[in-house]
């Protein structure tokens, strides 16, 4: 874990602790994906949709680093009148293209954006990040069918496969399902490894929609959260836990 990503995790833990809110494990599982996407992949003509809205603290940490929001904005997360809610709001945050929270809505919107680019013959890809549990939504597979039918080679669906659905409806066949719907599918063994993440973006298809499945750990970077991810899904750390977690990451 780089020093910058470690800082992001500490910042996320701190604001969650202070404001008693946030989905920390979900933010930690997508942090590398978002950071490398924004810092090394996205071009001016590209678009990004965060469908997995409850992981927004990771997006806010990256936005703070890029100067899209201020430190004051970040510190106000989830407080009354803050622009940064527990799910991102496109009407309040520059750079957020969809207000997400209800799962299964981001990919359909991304299809509309990708189709618009194609009709207008505009350059650029459209990226959409969903969670493994979100793949249980019917809109995900309706979107998969439609994207293939429309031949949206400029659409890339990123799946945060952090096994959050293992205790309910199984999502162990995401790769096979997307392949069956005619998508080009890549699977990243370690979604927290820079080289593996960036290599996947270098291998998207030029003639069909691409799905990249990132195998991640919910709560990556903190052993206790990784091992007790369900108990930690939506809770803030205590002062004692903060001391322990900061020590684990190295102060």
d(CA 108, CA 140): 8
Confidence of residue 163 (pLDDT cuts 50, 70, 90): confident
Q: Which of these, 88, 96, 217, 210, lies nearest to 158 by C-alpha position? A: 210
CATH number for position 195: 3.40.50.970
Residue pair 197/250 in contact (Cβ under 8 Å)? The answer is no
Q: What is the pLDDT of residue 100?
A: 86
Q: How far is CA 230 from CA 14, 82, 140, 217, 234, in A?
A: 20, 27, 23, 12, 8
Q: pLDDT grade, residue 65 (50/70/90)? A: very high
HEC per residue, 154-171: CEEEEEEECCCCCCCCCC
Distance CA 247, CA 242 (A): 8
Are residues 196 and 222 in contact, defined by beta-carbon separation less than 8 angstroms?
Answer: no
Residue 42: how many other CB atoms lie within 10 Å: 16
Helix intervals (H) in the chain = 3-19, 24-36, 56-66, 71-75, 106-119, 138-149, 174-180, 194-201, 223-227, 239-249
Which of 73-77, 147-151, 163-167 bottoms out in mean pLDDT, i.e. has the lowest?
Answer: 163-167
Tokens of 192: 């927290």
| pLDDT for the residue 25 | 94
The two tokens of residue 220 are 């990556």
SS3 48: strand
- The answer for residues whose C-beta is within 8 angstroms of residue 26's C-beta and 6 or more apart is 52, 54, 55, 58, 131, 160, 162, 164, 218, 233
Dihedral (C-alpha) 236, 102, 216, 192: value to the nearest 10 degrees? -80
In this structure, are residues 19 and 79 in contact, taking their beta carbons and an 8 Å threshold?
yes
Which domain, by its residues, includes 34?
Answer: 3-249
Give SS3 for 50. Answer: strand
What is the distance in angstroms between the CA of the first residue and the CA of the last residue of the chain? Answer: 13
Query: What was the pLDDT predicted at 227?
Result: 87
Q: How many domains does the chain divide into?
A: 1
Lowest mean per-residue pLDDT among 64-73, 104-113, 165-174: 165-174
Q: Tens digits of per-residue pLDDT, 197-239?
A: 999 999 999 999 999 999 999 999 999 998 887 888 889 999 9
Token digits of residue 72: 């004051």
């Amino acid at each position: 874990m780089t020093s910058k990503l470690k800082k992001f995790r500490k910042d996320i833990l701190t604001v969650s602790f202070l404001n008693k809110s946030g989905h920390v494990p979900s933010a930690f599982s997508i942090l590398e994906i978002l950071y490398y996407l924004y810092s090394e992949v996205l071009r001016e003509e590209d678009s990004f949709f965060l469908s997995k809205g409850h992981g927004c603290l990771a997006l806010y940490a990256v936005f703070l680093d890029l100067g899209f929001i201020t430190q004051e904005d970040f510190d106000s997360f989830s407080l009354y009148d803050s622009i940064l809610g527990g799910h991102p709001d496109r009407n309040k945050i520059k750079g957020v293209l969809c207000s997400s929270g209800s799962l299964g809505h981001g990919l359909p919107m991304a299809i509309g954006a990708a189709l618009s680019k194609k009709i207008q013959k505009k350059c650029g890809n459209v990226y959409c990040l969903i969670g493994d549990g979100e793949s249980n939504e019917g809109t995900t597979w309706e979107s998969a069918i439609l994207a293939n039918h429309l031949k949206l080679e400029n659409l890339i669906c990123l799946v945060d496969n952090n096994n959050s659905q293992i205790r309910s409806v199984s999502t162990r066949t995401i790769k096979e399902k997307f392949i069956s719907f005619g998508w080009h599918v890549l699977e990243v063994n370690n979604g927290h490894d820079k080289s593996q993440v960036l290599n996947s973006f270098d291998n998207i298809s030029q003639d069909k929609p691409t799905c990249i499945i990132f195998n991640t750990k919910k709560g990556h970077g903190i052993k206790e959260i990784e091992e007790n991810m369900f108990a930690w899904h939506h809770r803030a750390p205590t002062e004692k836990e903060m001391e322990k977690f900061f020590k684990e990451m190295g102060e």
